Chains A and B, each alone.
Chain A
Amino acid sequence: MSETNTALGAALPPSAVLPEVPRLPDRLVDQLAFPPRDRYLQMVEAFKAAGFEMCADLCAVDYLTHPGRTLPDGVRSERFEVVVNLLSMSLRQRVRIRVQVPEVDPTVSSIVDVYPGADAMEREAFDMMGIIFEGHPDLTRILMPEDWEGHPLRKDYGVGRIPVQFKEAPGPR
């Protein structure tokens, strides 16, 4: 783990790795990195060069109702977080990159050029959370219908806004 940190010394700010994180059974321990938004793509490229062959997962979290979460010093918490799980098969290691994305400007660089497999995952994060991935070649909705309004996994999404139509229930009109 420390070797990777040295290899990535240029890309990782000293505070990027949070040593004490709540997680337990020994094999589930992942390395964490908290790049600023403008250095996120650079860090992903550095990890790719350091032997992380695969982007295992990418998703977004909306921390609207839980702003006071544990973050390392120097990382300012924002409403959204884009979470990328990279996997190195050669090092048998995972790294989790958590990028803070502010709600006033929910954009972040796309990593599709580095990991083409992130394509569908970024589309899903866009669809569900409204994160805009700059440079994604085809950023369209993937799970919701293309004319859907709003991003369902956001915490302020109006659940129940559209009445469920039961057979006997009165219609909307």
Chain B
Amino acid sequence: MSEHDHHDRDPERDHRLEIESTILPAETSEGAQELLPRSGTDASELRREVGAVLRLPEGNYIDPSDIDIERREDETMIINMGPQHPSTHGVLRLMLELDGETVLRTKPIIGYLHTGMEKTGEELTYAQGSTNVTRMDYLSPLHNELVFSLATEALLNVEVPPRAVWIRMLMTELNRVSSHLMWMATNGMDLGSTSMMIYGFREREMVLSFFEKTTGLRMNNNFIRPGGVAADLPDGWQDDIEVICDTILARTFEYDELLTGQPIFRERTEAIGNLTAEEALALSVTGPILRSTGVPWDLRRSMPYLAYDKLDFDVIVGTYGDNFDRYSVRLNEIRESIKMIRQIAEQMPPGDYRVQDRKVTPPPRARIDESMEALIHHFKIFTEGFRVPEGEVYVAIESPRGELGCYLVSDGTSKPYRLHIRGPSFVNLQVLPVLLRGGLMADAVAVISSVDPVMGEVDR
């Protein structure tokens, strides 16, 4: 209350309130999230929507005067797709301007799944934070936990033990396999291959069963936490890993027979939704979409984190940046991940699975009965949380969808001052208008699927 009184006398605050009541509501009530008809869109906006402003090399530069912005309105039609469309992988809404069957302009409209997770993150302690971030990209929860934990550890200046690092690598690579399998399944479904859907889910379930055995949950595991991982691997984990690797690797060759060489599948994917490397870089696209254009950029290789520099693997790149390249990059990344998982299982070091720093890691349950200090530490960590030194850090890892970044600001308390997650799906969605432009409406579903958006992460 006293703080309020203090603010009321503050002339700067009065001035700000005045500004807010004059400028901001006007700025925010323009209500133009939707794709407007051409008569309601000015020329510069229109050129942007048709992609003329992308920084392209001289030869590819689209001359704005070439673009027919004068197209008569009764020739085109704006249709709405989603947010409850089964092919939109959640609640993505697209507005498309069509000329007959051809897509002229597209605008993705997002936010239907926004739950304010960044704001929630400011109210949770660092110890609780991983339960929050794990729900953002629900198909690769372990990557979210990893990036949050790495950022927290960077601010805390703790180094996690080698076994924790390798368990993290094992789990995130398995998660990449399960996420790509899920993508193969839904992509198959979008293209009408329902058998691929069944197979993809079947194989993914193997990985999720292993997650359940290790972490207790199939999804939203809250397994990777600041300071290490929640538990050691279960007894006999090597056997499970071997079965998973052998089975899924063999199945990827069955997918080859089912899809890769199949004429109908290739007709639906080849030369559909083309993207150049320049366009991808300009639009900040990362992950398999960027690699499908031929840019060998993979953070595991280029800016290694964890212990990826100790693994032998290839970065898969495509050539044309079309739907088929995005498919084959992901299919081959499953194989590369399996190669990595095998190496990790061989080289898994012994030792602690979390840092033995009582200020960060809660003591084992058994110690609480014996030691007063252990009880105090346990109580402190689960009520107040641990304090993180003041600072800010940006950490990025390679998630199955691209660069997953975490910008974390600490003010020295036990809760993040600001938690920002750079979701790869959120940024990658900007590429949809480019991919869809000039294509057929019937291919739109295949193109959306090939971008692999996870709306939980887009909207956060």
Contact = CB atoms under 8 A, between A and B. Distances in A.
B391 interface: yes
A149 B422 CA distance: 24
Contacts of A159: 119
A154 B283 CA distance: 27
A149 B392 CA distance: 29
Interface stretch (B83-91, B201-209, B266-274, B402-410): B402-410
A22 interface: yes
A137 B45 contact: yes
A25 B241 CA distance: 30
A96 to B, nearest CB: 6
A54 interface: yes
Interface string B408-430: 01010000011010100011011
A89 to B, nearest CB: 5
Contact of A57 (B155, B418, B422): B422
A68 B305 CA distance: 32
Contact of B32 (A55, A103, A130, A138): A138
B30 A140 contact: yes
A142 B411 CA distance: 28
A132 B31 contact: no
Contacts of B157: 22, 24
A118 B284 contact: yes
Given A25-B153, A116-B282, A117-B285, 13 more contacts: A22-B391, A25-B154, A27-B305, A56-B286, A57-B420, A69-B411, A83-B394, A83-B407, A85-B405, A89-B295, A137-B53, A142-B33, A144-B111
Given A23-B154, A56-B284, A153-B119, A116 B394 contact: no
Determine chain A's interface SS by DSSP, over half rule: loop
A99 interface: no
B99 interface: no
B420 A59 contact: yes
Q: Among B19, B114, B304, which residue has the most Cβ atoms of chain A within 10 A? A: B114
Contacts of A23: 154-155, 391, 393
Interface string A81-98: 001010101001010100
Interface residues of B, number: 68
B24 interface: yes
B425 to A, nearest CB: 11
A16 interface: no
B114 A54 contact: no
B55 A22 contact: no
Contact of B407 (A55, A59, A132, A138): A59
A62 B302 CA distance: 32
Contact of B114 (A59, A94, A137, A143): A143
18 contacts: A23-B154, A23-B155, A24-B155, A25-B150, A56-B286, A56-B403, A57-B407, A61-B417, A65-B411, A66-B417, A85-B394, A116-B54, A117-B282, A117-B283, A130-B20, A132-B23, A141-B111, A143-B110
Contacts of A166: none
B304 to A, nearest CB: 7
B143 to A, nearest CB: 16
A152 B116 contact: yes
B24 A130 contact: yes
Contacts of B305: 27
A148 B28 CA distance: 8
B384 interface: no
Contacts of A66: 411, 417
Interface in A124-163: 124, 128, 130, 132, 137-149, 151-153, 159
Nearest to B42: A137
B98 interface: no
Contacts of B32: 138, 140, 146
Given A27-B305, A30-B394, A148-B28, A117 B110 contact: no
B38 to A, nearest CB: 15
A153 B30 CA distance: 20
Contacts of A65: 411
A119 B30 contact: no
Given A54-B284, A104-B12, A145-B111, A117 B390 contact: no
Most chain A CB inside 10 Å of its own CB: which residue of B12, B282, B284: B284
